[in-house]
Chain A
């Protein structure tokens, strides 16, 4: 059962932002509803108004230009898993999207909603951090680009201001011969732990830039710089030898907490295992 609410259907991002500003905490943005409506049905949250952001045109496109893949915040998971642009340029993201929840959730759930709801046990944020993505937030009179790693503040909490709207996700086109992988493990409906690795290769056989992110272990997905340091600049052979150590470091740096999906200790261990496997996968695909 849902409690009665009013529906607003704005036509522009500016109008959305105005409505958010006017109604404050009594209103909430609504897109696919796959997370929000569940929380509302449970009575965990209540709003007098939902603002249907899907009536804003132009926020569901996927384009690649000038070395940046631009993903509209209203793109559904289904759109992302079938996007020719992403299949061509970012197959790792397609693979992730193919395995989000189930076919019905992917049909209506949006990437923007997924990121803004900031449910700790979700996939996309982790990979976007490792890819060095930027999230574009707009309001009536301003626009800013937020690095994905700064976007998530805590469980169900982002750095968006109350009247800001996430409109676009910008992913830099990976350099040729990059190694990128995302792996998750879980036995419930949602992932228990997710690990993303993305690195570029220096001229020879060594690792250039590397980003590692861990999701689901703690309240929010986060970059684990400490583990990156253990692998950066190393040859593939050296890095492979250091993987166990990097995995341990990543586990400790993940801010893992005990929850329904496992104890802190268990998750830290899984982070290490997944990091090792994700790195090996990234190497073999690069």
Chain B
């Protein structure tokens, strides 16, 4: 027991605080802990998925300060002092975000595995470019892969959401 405790005391932990889906989150993490594990396993938010684990596919996409990152290859301590948005935080007061609504209406969900990442990446795009051309959309989104069906419905969903968001604002 004493040996175990000695080993524990040697472990480096970093106190971090950050905003998670609009709420202050304070916790301790070890330097090697990965953001995706912390969000899924310790915070219980399982919308972001692990798939390729090498920053190619985008299923683990989260927004940090509004910009997309691969949570599978981000050290958790890096979000200290920053704002993290997961798919669970996108709806406001029970009302779906226009992107979520458009994915339902235009069949963008398909099998659903890539959807949280697709929607968050698309949010980052539309926040910086509310009226993207299809080429701009494809360039921004090309690191988010659908491995089941294809991109037609996804692109249609995002363009439809963009139009709706523009007409609202």
Contact = CB atoms under 8 A, between A and B. Distances in A.
B121 A103 contact: yes
Nearest to B142: A102
Interface stretch (A30-38, A57-65, A131-139): A30-38
Given A38-B73, A107-B68, A4 B11 contact: yes
> How many of chain B's residues touch chain A, expressed as a range?
20 to 34
Given A103-B143, A104-B55, A107-B68, A41 B73 contact: yes
B74 interface: yes
A101 B121 contact: no
A189 B34 CA distance: 23
Given A3-B32, A5-B32, A37 B75 contact: yes
B67 interface: yes
A107 B69 contact: yes
A38 B55 contact: yes
Given A7-B14, A37-B75, A38-B55, A104 B70 contact: yes
B109 interface: no
A50 B142 CA distance: 31
Given A3-B32, A5-B31, A104 B58 contact: yes
Contacts, number: 60
Interface in B137-158: 139-140, 142-144
B75 A104 contact: no
A102 B143 contact: yes
B143 A105 contact: yes
Given A33-B74, A38-B55, A104 B31 contact: no
A-B complex: 10 closest residue pairs judged by Cβ atoms: A102-B143, A7-B31, A2-B32, A104-B70, A37-B73, A104-B68, A107-B67, A6-B12, A4-B32, A104-B69
5 contacts: A4-B31, A41-B73, A102-B142, A105-B55, A105-B143
Given A4-B30, A104-B69, A108-B74, 10 more contacts: A33-B74, A37-B73, A37-B75, A38-B73, A78-B67, A101-B143, A102-B56, A103-B124, A103-B143, A108-B69
Interface of B: 11-12, 14, 30-34, 53-56, 58, 61, 67-70, 73-75, 77, 121, 124, 139-140, 142-144
